[in-house]
Amino acid sequence: MCEKELVVDSFIRSIINASRAKKRIITLCIDSLFIMLAFWLALIVRLDSLEPLKSINNWLLLALLIPTSLSAFIKLGLYRAVLRYMNSQALWAIILGTLITTVSLVLLAFFTGINIPRTMPFIFAWLCLLTVGGSRILVRAIIGKIMTNNKESVIIYGAGSAGRQLATGLNAGPEYFVSAFIDDDTAKHGSIVQGIPVIAFKDVQELIEKRNATKVLLAMPSVSRARRKEVLAQLEPLSIKVLSVPGMADVIEGKAQLSEFREVEIEDLLGRDPVTPKTDLMAANITNKVVMVTGAGGSIGSELCRQIIKQNPVKIILFERSEIALYSIEKELCEYVAHNQLSIELIPIMGSVQRINRLETVMLAFGVHTVYHAAAYKHVPLVEHNVVEGVRNNVFGTYYAAKAAVNAKVETFVLISTDKAVRPTNVMGATKRMAELVLQGLAQEQGAKHNTRFCMVRFGNVLGSSGSVVPLFRRQIKEGGPITLTHPDITRFFMTIPEAAQLVIQAGAMGKGGDVFVLDMGDSVKIKDLATKMIRLSGFEIKSESNPHGDIEILCTGLRPGEKLFEELLIGDNVEQTTHERIMTANEVMLPLKELNVFIESLDAACHNFDHEKIRQLLLDAPTSFNPTDGICDLVWNARYENSREHISGCNVVNLPKSGKGAIL
């Protein structure tokens, strides 16, 4: 920018930053000059002569006209309008003010007896509109140009109502200006909306390079996830940061602002639209009943509580071992109850599912009708490293909770299982399959010795849960990489936490006894493809051998102990559809109750004796389809084994002296 341009820019900015009073005085003076100019030009143009300038009567008429017209503009609120945000209301004020000024001119000329040409007021009106109105439009354009010089260029995908509102808010703010709209409607291509061009998607790359756009904002809050997935697939190769605008429902409810941008939700990348839950199934085991959730502070447990409270139970027992997790979920639910003026009693209970007396006492004390058993260890490598605790919590925790439910005459017991229980290659999966066998075994006595309905719901990974890969990838991208994954071909099923919780509740309502329900997880997702999409939609390039100048590298660290390349939801092909489109039921292998009790007793003894070899053998002998990919990885067991080897080795070593002195005879 040259020195002259800098001076002009500095002058304009000084006016922009001046006080409101100074701006109004300046505007009044300028409008006075414009009215004077319009008056003389109208006379000169009409009479084609400069003689009117010599008439004292004309000067007197002008002296009366200027304060009259300015008063009209003031009354109409023209000087309250901010130039850079001038809208149609200000334009109407100019038109009406000009009309009043023109009528005043005619009346003043009539009552003062000053002769003016009949057509002169019409010329004056047009010139007044041109100068007073046109000057404001010009100034607004200049200010807009100056203000956008230091703003970040963005593109809005969607020229609908949400996109237009967003553009208005952004252009008025100090950070962004909108270079263009992208819209799927071909009828809008080439048009101008709010001064912003609407372009087709094929022209995006050229626009990004031309306008140096840094972000694409998705203003499509009402479209389906399937459509958003298609849009994101189109944007992914551009390597431009993509952000999402919150839905209008969240904006109306005060949960978000339209200008509050979010990272692209991983749900949009999956493209799965959630199915509306069936109200009768959601309410069947909850409404007007006492409900207990074990592991209430966990990812699944806490979401179950959020869904349960919406169905108006009498009481919710929050059973949780972690003090901070219990405090957090209780506080959240208390706020929800208070805000919605509900009469639901929240009962926070600290305790471990490995203590049957604690479980049974709680269930009896509060008269529990339904139990959702979400307490479990789920992190595969950690359970591999802590086998005994994994077996105690996942197998015996389920066994004790189920036995307590039977003794307390609980109506329905629902186990939250996992796809890792299908042909498990790790201890965590084997323990969850063993937990399923426990419930299937106890279900055999239903009707004879008890009336508790047992069922289990098996599903894959949930988005955003503790230990989930998505938050990890986002953190790694923010830190500049690299993104780490265990294997380039690894795949997983994904589902949102709310959808998983809703389906668990609905499946529990359909259970007859011993049912294994399998949730429709959609298509499996290749984790490397997921990482690639997240990098590119964050506006970065992937660094690789073919692209060494990229931003973020994807590193494969190797499969962790017990980790599978892909997960399954069914052991066999014996599956039946239920009345719900996303819930199926599987007929799996079961253990007779007598054999189950033998396994439980032997497993208990092995855990007590810290006999990992026995534990592994029992998990292999049970119908779990356990096929471990690694040896025993328990940290304590391996440490003891290494210490014992060193001890034995040390006992067999005889240190001989270098000479005969000191030799032991």
Give the number of residues written for the chain.
Answer: 665
SS (H, E, C) 585-614: EECCCCCCHHHHHHHHHHHHHHHHCCCHHH
Sign of the C-alpha dihedral, residues 571, 576, 578, 583? positive
Strands 290-294 and 315-320: parallel
Rounded to an integer, what distance in angstroms lies between the CA atom of residue 251 and that of residue 105?
50
State phi, psi for 462 to the nearest 5 degrees: -110, 140
DSSP summary character for residue 578: -
Task: Please provide the DSSP assignment of 373-410 as one string.
Answer: E------HHHHHH-HHHHHIIIIIHHHHHHHHHHHTT-
SS (H, E, C) 453-479: EEEEEEECEEECCCCCHHHHHHHHHHC
| Helices and strands in the chain, H and E counts | 25, 23
Looking at the annotation, which residues are catalytic?
Answer: 420
Characterize 66-82 residue by residue with b for buried, 16 or more Cβ atoms within 10 angstroms of its Cβ, and e for exposed.
bebbbebbeebebbebe
Helix (H) or strand (E) holding 279: helix 279-284
Helix (H) or strand (E) holding 554: strand 552-556
Tokens of residue 275, six digits: 């199915």
Tokens of residue 554, six digits: 């994807």
Rounded to an integer, what distance in angstroms lies between the CA atom of residue 598 and that of residue 593?
9
SS3 assignment, position 486: coil
* Strand residue runs (E) in 388-509: 412-418, 453-459, 461-463, 483-485, 491-492, 494-496
Rounded to an integer, what distance in angstroms lies between the CA atom of residue 196 and that of residue 185?
16
Helix (H) or strand (E) holding 363: helix 356-366
SS3 assignment, position 543: strand
Rounded to an integer, what distance in angstroms lies between the CA atom of residue 123 and that of residue 131?
12
Nearest Cα neighbor of 541 from 481, 484, 586, 499 is 481
Q: Which residue has the tokens 């380039």?
A: 488
Helix (H) or strand (E) holding 372: strand 370-373
What residues contact 596, with CB distance under 8 A and at least 6 apart? 437, 438, 441
Rounded to an integer, what distance in angstroms lies between the CA atom of residue 607 and that of residue 604?
5
Q: Do residues 170 and 204 lie in contact, with contact meaning Cβ atoms separated by under 8 Å?
A: no
Task: Please provide the DSSP assignment of 281-323 as one string.
Answer: HHHHTTTTSEEEEETTTSHHHHHHHHHHHTT--SEEEEEES-H
Tokens of residue 211, six digits: 């306008």
Rounded to an integer, what distance in angstroms lies between the CA atom of residue 610 and that of residue 638?
12
SS3 assignment, position 369: coil
CB-based burial label for 448 (10 Å; 0-12, 13-18, 19+): exposed
